[in-house]
Chain A
Amino acid sequence: MAATVSSGRDAVATPIQRAFREAFYAGAISLGLFVLFIGLRTDQNITNELILVQRWLLLAIVVIAVTVGRFLYVAYAVPAMERSKAEKAATPAVVAEPGFIKQNFNRIGLVILLLYPIAMVLLFGFQGSLKWVDNFGIQILIYVMLAWGLNIVVGLAGLLDLGYVAFYAVGAYAYALLGTHFGLSFWILLPAAGCMAAFWGVMLGFPVLRLRGDYLAIVTLAFGEIIRLVLINWREVTNGSAGISGIPKVSFFGLISFNVSDPNYIAKVLHIAQSGAYYKIFLYYLALGLCLLTAFVTIRLRRLPVGRAWEALREDEIACRSLGINTTTTKLTAFATGAMFGGFAGSFFAARQGFVSPESFVFLESAIILAIVVLGGMGSLGGIAVAALVMIGGTEILRELDFLKAVFGPDFTPELYRMLLFGMAMVIVMLWKPRGFVGSREPTAFLKERRAVSASFTKEGHG
């Protein structure tokens, strides 16, 4: 997009002309792209044969929408954006004090997170809050935890891991198997699952240490697939695709239980009405606690020699070695630490669902987690949390848009479009902010004053 900031009439005429041309191309291309896929639909008739259903009207609508959209974008949106950019450049850069919200972002976020279930209960009542606490709150917190764990591997150490979901699976199955077979409590199994996942992190780490870049990416992806395929096929142990159900619930350190039949069921102990919401709210705070643990450890680790070595490894592996850093163990600790948090998240997931199956650990999950890390801004915990909120919350909310049925007719299921929109959102956000929401890096030590490091200096690692 060449910035044609010329003067006078020219500047007015050119964008419109260009917009017409671009809109025409966009229309033609979209016609080409969609003519078969939207214009026609393959369907099975009663005898199970494939037939074609024609939808030319829909095709016309889509093509026209694309054309008009492109026209408006080129004719109005682009010049407007350029103008505002030029204005910003023209006004002397006043280093504005970051606003109150920006300064206290973490504290405000934490308070909101702590109050969230209470607010939901007040707003929707116990039964009504279930959905908001569980589908939104817990769901997003699980992804935050996963993304923070992966952040150690990708964001700090710069090792591209496309199979992170494997550790999530290991944690979940460790909890599910040990919990159902031996009846061990969550509080024992959580660290056990973490250790197990860390162990697998090291197991994966060893063979891939020598690999770089995309070779590393494919081997981690393969590793994730191997774990999933083993879970599907090792039926004697994992019960195959059917999964494992009846996973015991978490208790409040054994003091208060959330099983209605137990003598120490929460409603009996506290003499309140029965409700499923207690467990969900408890799980919410548990997830929040685990997230905070992850954040605490990550922040601490960054200020320790290991954490600095991870970041140094991302910046320049050869220089690391010249300074006497054992890059092998450094990479392994990154893999193990990241995997451990994945394992924690996995065991929490198993406890929350009460059921695990290989379905939950497909590559798409790894991709989503990685996307959250990158969209958030590699290495930045706050940015990653925001990305998780936007991407997961955003797609979850599509499940709730029932009013669209009124617009598009009863056949319309917004859920169907969930992943389509998710994929497009990934592309758009990345194009808009290639460095993620938070591009700068917080230094881990300072001599005089703490200043964030601009993203243009940080590297992304080659591993």
Chain B
Amino acid sequence: MQYFVQQLINGLTLGSIYGLIAIGYTMVYGIIGMINFAHGDIFMVGAFTALIVFLILGALFYSVPIVVALLIMMIVAMLLTSLYNWTIEKVAYRPLRGSFRLAPLITAIGMSIALSNFVQVTQGPRNKPIPPLVSQVYTFDGISISLKQIIIVIVTITLLAIFWYLVNRTALGRAQRACEQDRKMAALLGIDVDRTISITFIMGAALAAVAGTLFLMYYGVVVFSDGFVPGVKAFTAAVLGGIGSLPGAVLGGLLIGFIESMWSAYFSIDYKDVAAFSILAIVLIFLPSGILGRPEVEKV
């Protein structure tokens, strides 16, 4: 039982990170109906930015309180990563809006390849380890929870709350939902569609940057190719939850996190990804639009 709860906690931590990334996929998909394949690499850029900021802080100051350091890392990562995603949208996706559906998918894949290789070229291909930022571990009744995990869950919940407020309670969120339903009509009603889409990309990137910072803090290492696996997992999570649905993305992320940690704990760690992907396939067979996705009715 303790072992189970322990895995539950691990899964929750992992799932929080996946969920944060998955939101970026789902939001972009919701608003312009494309898979932003570069989103995983945006996450990696976020983690890398946090790493560089951490090193700068270390070089400039003798010691910085860890909370402050984390906060600065997160904020800078959010800003820079948003700039990346904003630029990518403007350069690679906007000119193709409304054309052939596969064209933006291909540019997105191209951007993903270009981004990870850009980081490889500029920062080198090796793993980048940092000393542990937070190392406290609390033990309750045989279950150990590290402070890192607590931070991850708290940050995730806080961000989700802010995010939920933005999407559901502000004019911006309303504009986003309007664009989702009917972009042309939204434009006719005076919504600046381009701006709304840009903001969507920025929001997605900011969440991915936070996920990247948390990832760096949790694992203590990052490498240029780190965008792919979490990216695919988060994408899987978004689809599992029902792409286009925000709660679905979080739910999907948590599910993938749980599946992975449970599978590694009880079966074999080698096949944890196989398990996650297989469960995706099985769920989609029975719920072709994901768990919380709107079923697509075939109106004839």
State the A residues within 8 Å of B (CB): 29, 32-33, 36-38, 40-44, 50-52, 154, 160, 207-208, 210-212, 214-215, 217-219, 221-223, 225-226, 229-230, 232-233, 318, 363-364, 367, 370-371, 374-375, 378, 416-417, 419-420, 422-427, 430-431, 434-435, 460
Contact = CB atoms under 8 A, between A and B. Distances in A.
B122 interface: yes
A300 to B, nearest CB: 26
Contact of A374 (B102, B239, B268): B102
Contacts of B151: none
A180 B118 CA distance: 40
B110 A371 contact: yes
B85 to A, nearest CB: 11
A420 B224 CA distance: 12
Given A33-B87, A214-B243, A431 B130 contact: no
A42 B245 CA distance: 38
A425 B281 CA distance: 33
A430 B300 CA distance: 33
A171 B103 CA distance: 29
Given A36-B52, A41-B123, A210-B285, A221 B232 contact: yes
B87 A434 contact: no
Contacts of B56: 40, 52
Nearest to A422: B113
Nearest to A462: B101
B126 interface: yes
14 contacts: A36-B53, A37-B118, A37-B119, A50-B51, A51-B59, A207-B285, A212-B288, A214-B243, A221-B232, A420-B118, A430-B96, A431-B96, A434-B99, A434-B103
Interface string B118-145: 1111111010111000000000000000
Contacts of A232: 270
A410 B258 CA distance: 49
Contacts of A363: 228, 232
Interface in B57-94: 59, 80, 83-84, 87, 91-92
Contacts of A41: 122-124
A425 B114 CA distance: 9
B81 to A, nearest CB: 10
Given A226-B277, A375-B106, A430-B103, A37 B95 contact: no
A77 B121 CA distance: 29
B117 A50 contact: no
Contact of B281 (A222, A430, A435): A222
Contacts of B110: 371, 422-427, 430
Interface of B: 29, 35, 48-49, 51-53, 55-56, 59, 80, 83-84, 87, 91-92, 95-96, 99-103, 105-107, 109-115, 117-124, 126, 128-130, 228, 232, 235-236, 239, 243, 268, 270-271, 273-274, 277-278, 280-281, 284-285, 288-290, 296, 298, 300
**Max chain A C-beta neighbours (<10 A), residue from B110, B123, B235, B289:** B110
Nearest to B83: A32
Given A44-B126, A427-B92, A430-B96, A214 B106 contact: no
Contacts of B84: 33
Contact of B83 (A29, A212, A214, A374): A29
A416 to B, nearest CB: 6
A423 B228 contact: no
Ranked 3 nearest A-B pairs via Cβ? A426-B110, A423-B114, A423-B113
Contacts of A226: 274, 277-278
Which of B102, B120, B243, B278 is the most central at the interface, judged by chain A CB atoms within 10 Å of its CB? B102
Q: Interface majority SS on B: helix, strand, loop or mixed?
A: helix
B259 to A, nearest CB: 13
A223 B281 contact: yes
Nearest to A214: B35
B273 A42 contact: no
Contacts of B124: 41-43
Contacts of A211: 284, 288
Contacts of B35: 214, 217
A378 B52 contact: no
Given A42-B52, A160-B102, A460-B100, A426 B109 contact: yes
Count chain B CB atoms within 10 A of each CB in A226, A318, A422 and give the residue with the most: A226
A211 B56 CA distance: 48
Contacts of A230: 274
A215 B288 contact: yes
Contacts of A221: 232
Contacts of A318: 298, 300
A416 B101 contact: no
A419 B288 CA distance: 35
B123 A37 contact: yes
Given A41-B123, A42-B52, A222-B280, A435 B100 contact: yes
A207 B284 CA distance: 8
Nearest to B55: A52
A208 B288 CA distance: 9
A218 B280 contact: yes
B239 A218 contact: yes
Contacts of B48: 37
Contacts of A210: 285, 288
B281 A50 contact: no
A435 B96 CA distance: 10
B229 to A, nearest CB: 9
Given A36-B80, A233-B271, 18 more contacts: A33-B80, A36-B49, A36-B53, A37-B122, A42-B51, A42-B55, A52-B59, A211-B288, A215-B243, A215-B288, A223-B277, A370-B109, A419-B113, A426-B106, A426-B107, A427-B114, A431-B107, A434-B100
